[in-house]
Amino acid sequence: MAAAFDAIGIAVTDLRASVTFYRLLGLEFPDPGPDDGHLEAATSSGVRVMLDTDAVVAGFDPTWQPTASRGRVGMAFLCADAAEVDRTFAAVIAAGSDPHLDPFDAPWGQRYASVLDPDGNVVDLFAPL
């Protein structure tokens, strides 16, 4: 199975303000709680839009620096399993792309890795553990 486009992630400075904005565009985010740093809403096509605070992103990406030149939007591809995350990561790197985060077992229950597309955008690969 090939990785399937599953989500767009947006790093945000103010989760509540971002939820308010994207609700105006029809996305149905839950109300953010006082300790929330990550929320998701599904589009009508099934693609998820994920909002993560800068603090959440910095928690798993120690190189994170929110700047306009690095971008604040990334794509995520769902893999069939942890082994496919590793295989896809290796294939993309072997084809000449740069790694961003080597595959690891994330504390939120996923095998997770990130690569950079040719323009330096972060593209995540993940699968449930």
What CATH number should be reported for the domain holding residue 120?
3.10.180.10
Phi, psi angles (nearest 5°) of residue 122:
-80, 130
Q: Which residues of the chain have pLDDT under 70?
A: 67-71, 118-119
pLDDT score, position 73 = 81
pLDDT score, position 26 = 83
> What's this model's pTM, rounded to 2 decimal places?
0.72
Total number of domains constituting the chain: 1
pLDDT score, position 63 = 85
SS3 label, residue 54: helix
The whole domain housing 118 covers 4-128
Please name which of 31, 102, 32, 35 lies closest in space to residue 62, comparing C-alpha atoms: 102
Beta strands 73-78 and 110-116 are unpaired
pLDDT score, position 70 = 56
